[in-house]
């Protein structure tokens, strides 16, 4: 089985890139299951019902979120869609769900979404404790567990990788929008990469206009971010899993 995880969709141009490139990627790589991070799909912050529908119309199996989960109020109208999950370490009273269990090729695949705490300035529960409790609850019910850890600090992501090594099939990082070249299979068999990158404007500062970004850094004055224009890219990672024993066989970065 091959599972594709697509890096943060940034704005409408990211959705257009997904529509143009996903079908061929799926066919070329013989992808069975697709995860897409959609928390930046609406103007770089949040997701609308149209964004969500556009993404899942590409035969995407699950859309994960992050720190901009609540960026667009209309998310509350579709937060309970089975194909949408938000970070599991939001307080229990928060609407939506932090993980989902899906069927593919006679396998049960659990996808868990987590939000980091270092440098995020969001009050969330401890992701290490939350994910450990989820795994205890579902590990006997599923064949494969994939984790999207939406976090800022590379140290927190690496720590989570080692914490989950041997407990989940794979963990990939999102949020920083820059694909890292550290894809690996950890000592106990879990696939890991610090960040899978982004899908959206190529010539940009993490998807945003370089002109605006530079002005903010040079002058230290507030300036509203806007999404860059022009050529786009698609960043992702492919996890190949042995159908016989559900163990990870390989992890491969994608840059399109």
How far apart, in whole angstroms, are the C-alpha atoms of residue 89 and residue 98?
7
Please list the alpha-helical segments (H only) found in 103-209.
127-138, 154-164
Question: 68 an active-site residue?
Answer: yes
Beta carbons of 147 and 114 less than 8 angstroms apart: yes
Token pair of 79, please?
Answer: 């937060």
The residues near 156 (Cβ < 8 Å, ≥ 6 apart) are 116, 117, 118
Distance of CA 247 to the CA centre of its chain: 21
CA–CA separation, 183 vs 58, rounded Å?
26
SS3 of residue 251 by DSSP: strand
102: which 2 tokens? 């899906």
Active-site annotation holder among 68, 150, 175, 177: 68
What does the alpha-carbon distance between residue 247 and residue 52 come to, in Å, rounded to a whole number?
31
Please report, for residues 35, 38, 151, 232, the alpha-carbon distance to residue 62 in angstroms, rounded to integers and kept in the order given: 5, 10, 19, 22
Instruction: List active site positions.
Output: 68
């Amino acid at each position: 089985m091959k599972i594709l995880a697509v890096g943060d969709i940034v704005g409408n141009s990211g959705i257009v890139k997904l529509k143009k490139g996903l079908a061929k990627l799926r066919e070329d790589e013989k992808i069975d299951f697709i995860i897409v991070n959609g928390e930046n799909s609406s103007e770089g912050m949040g997701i609308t019902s149209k964004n969500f529908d556009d993404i899942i119309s590409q035969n995407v199996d699950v859309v994960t979120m992050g720190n901009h989960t609540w960026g667009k109020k209309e998310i509350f109208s579709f937060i309970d869609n089975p194909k949408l999950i938000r970070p599991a370490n939001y307080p229990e009273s928060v609407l939506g769900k932090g993980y989902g269990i899906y069927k593919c090729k006679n396998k049960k695949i659990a996808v868990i979404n987590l939000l980091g705490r270092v440098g995020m300035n969001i009050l969330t529960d401890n992701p290490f404790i939350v994910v450990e409790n989820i795994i205890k609850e579902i590990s006997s019910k599923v064949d494969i567990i994939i984790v999207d850890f939406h976090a800022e600090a590379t140290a927190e992501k690496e720590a989570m990788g080692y914490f989950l090594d041997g407990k989940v099939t794979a963990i990939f990082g999102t949020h920083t929008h820059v694909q890292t070249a550290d894809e690996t299979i950890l000592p106990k068999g879990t696939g890991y990469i610090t960040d899978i990158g982004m899908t959206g404007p190529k010539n940009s500062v993490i998807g945003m206009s370089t002109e605006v970004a530079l002005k903010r850094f040079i002058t230290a004055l507030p300036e509203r971010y806007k999404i860059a224009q022009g050529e786009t890219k698609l960043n992702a990672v492919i996890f190949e899993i042995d159908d016989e024993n559900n163990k990870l066989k390989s992890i491969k970065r994608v840059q399109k």
